[in-house]
Structure 1
């Protein structure tokens, strides 16, 4: 019900709209300057009709930063992984840095478009997908809560970026892997120069294609040493490299939950490791936290990813391998060996735990091209030697 007030010779209307869902403050819409009460009442009726029909929006003065942080809290309570919450938090900071104190209701499509175009000059298309996704979610909720009229992300498509030479070179870097002979030499070096668990870790990565987080999350019940099978049901999440603050999350995608067949050599290595680990448990029984982790520290906590990254760099240097090899590179190494062995794309997809066949296809195409290039170079060298 509208209320009317007279100030001097003019009239104004005041209509109660309810409580703001975010600020919990009373919301009211008012307008003055009417010559008569009748004019104010006529204008008020239009507003009341819009309110009744659900078409009235009282734009919020809440700042973008305030709303985005409130949105992140509700997003975190919706059952998503903590890793997803951290990703969204990082992505929305790209908007907060320019719009922080700005009222969210005043952000326009032009402002959003300009910000995305600016960021697209700095970041990869994949990362921009995440930033744009965060923007869409934030503004969609703002519209749903009636805090703004127009969603600035509506009908906006992320611009396709023309690949530069630098981008292509970075893309090559993503699929770095060890050749068969390089892998054999590297694993031999692990046996002679590696520290405790190095040989088992890097052999397992290269023989199974596991992600490093999946490997570090493995527990003894996940391995059937009699059948030679390994189950992947979780991944270790520890972004701060604090051994006390780890979390076990579901794998990257539903397709990542899988069972992998492992060969007799790897089974034998796991059996020997289990004996060694039992000795460590007895020795450190007062401090050992027995959670069943296979790749555990001497106190039972799962080993840190950073530890194996550092050990890998040390071994690569000793091996004289100058490629930018990371723990994930062993996953690509495993893929390349599967392709070389003639394993089909569908089987590779299942073994690697790719939910989307296109992911497998992209890697397959890249590595096949790499092998074709290598074959061409070897053929050219052979012919040169024959012709000399």
Structure 2
């Protein structure tokens, strides 16, 4: 097993390592950090055992990893996040060989994300993704050592103000939602605008919304049955699967005006089906009208459309399809709906995020209730 030692030189502290390679001990000196020494040691050891392709670019390896990851039958929502995060890192490391990436480079990206307003939990999820990519690269012999294990997360001040801001970044307030929907109505099709309305009002997961069949709508009673989700096998292939949990099977009520919009979407869908043969036999409520016509939209496509809308607003938050699920929780909480009823509508048996947003929003409504009570007491002379 390798040993690492710090020593002093005229130029400052340096590191060395000793390792037994092919029956003989080898010593290397002059490394500025222990991380550099560990990386060099790993390279020597693994070079003595395998033939590595250390010239591969990060983007190439990330794409290979994604192709294998898609074959695992992962849920569409999870896959969408991994695709977006892999694309994010591919852009950051677009000119880098994967073997040249260091822990410091990844830490710099995380610090940049923090400065741009990304929450601690979000950055942690990104770290999980790049760790998966690097583990895959190590297994496939593109790198000698997985540097992610030495990556330190940015420091977040856990005071009350930062916690408050972190919670409020997870959802759109009423003014932000109003602005978003006003822009989407002008810049996108009725179908996409209605999809945004649906997920913000009902809190559906995007995979649940994109897997809806027209037969799932009960037009007379203004309800929608949710009992499946969408799993993407490949860009052109998908399957409808069981939902995330048994509590995800549920029925949600929608406003009459929203149901009217959904009816218009169904009417347009029927006109499209009469004119052309669609790629999918499913009578999906929302489906692609351009590429692979009839197939469900890619979640990444929906998130791209969300970004297009946000770019034309004053909203400064990082908004994805999941943001609208949290937005629905905040609106229901503000409307006075109980936590248990919200969990049922969201398809949650329990959810820390749902509870956190609920408690945060209702803290303000409690203050409003107190003000109303104070006004009533003053009316009867109890100042």
TM-score range, shorter chain: 0.5 to 0.7
Distance 2:108 2:155 in 1: 13
Q: 1:309 to 1:152 in 2, by over 3 A?
A: closer
Counterpart for residue 252 of structure 2: 262
Distance 1:308 1:115 in 2: 30
Residues 199 and 324 of structure 2 are in contact (CA less than 8 Å); yes or no, is this contact kept in structure 1? Answer: yes
The equivalent position to 2:366 in structure 1, one of 364, 368, 372, is: 372
The equivalent position to 1:214 in structure 2, one of 208, 216, 222, is: 208
Aligned CA-pair RMSD: 5.7
What's the CA shift for 1:144?
A: 4.2
Residues 303 and 320 of structure 2 are in contact (CA less than 8 Å); yes or no, is this contact kept in structure 1? Answer: no
Q: What secondary structure does 1:92 align onto?
A: helix
Alignment pair present for 1:58 and 2:52: no
Aligned residue runs from structure 1 range 1-388, under 5 A = 46=23, 57-58=46-47, 62-63=53-54, 65-66=56-57, 69-70=60-61, 72-78=63-69, 79-80=71-72, 83-84=80-81, 86-93=83-90, 96=93, 100-101=96-97, 103=99, 111-112=102-103, 114-123=104-113, 124=118, 125-144=120-139, 150-154=145-149, 156-162=151-157, 169=165, 171-178=167-174, 204-205=198-199, 207-211=201-205, 214-223=208-217, 228-235=223-230, 254-255=244-245, 258-263=248-253, 266=256, 270=259, 274=263, 277-278=266-267, 281=270, 285-287=274-276, 289=278, 291-295=282-286, 301=294, 305=302, 331-332=325-326, 334-336=328-330, 338-339=332-333, 340-345=335-340, 347-354=341-348, 357-375=351-369
What's the CA shift for 1:119?
A: 2.1
What's the CA shift for 1:274?
A: 4.7
What's the CA shift for 1:363?
A: 1.8
Q: 1:141 to 1:368 in 2, by over 3 A?
A: same
Unaligned runs of 5+ in 1: 1-42, 48-54, 188-194, 238-244
Unaligned runs of 5+ in 2: 1-19, 25-43, 182-188
Distance 2:97 2:199 in 1: 47
Distance 1:223 1:210 in 2: 14
Q: 1:220 to 1:212 in 2, by over 3 A?
A: same
- Alpha-carbon displacement from aligned partner over 1:197-242 (angstroms, at most 9, x marks no partner): 79975774455322455334421233456884512423598xxxxx
Residues 205 and 212 of structure 1 are in contact (CA less than 8 Å); yes or no, is this contact kept in structure 2? Answer: yes
What's the CA shift for 1:352?
A: 1.3
TM-score with structure 2 length normalisation?
A: 0.55
Distance 1:327 1:297 in 2: 17
Residues 212 and 284 of structure 2 are in contact (CA less than 8 Å); yes or no, is this contact kept in structure 1? Answer: yes
Distance 1:101 1:298 in 2: 38
Q: Which has the higher contact order (CA 8 A, sep 6+)?
A: 2
- Alpha-carbon displacement from aligned partner over 1:359-385 (angstroms, at most 9, x marks no partner): 222222222223234445656788899
What's the CA shift for 1:73?
A: 0.7
Q: 1:142 to 1:258 in 2, by over 3 A?
A: closer
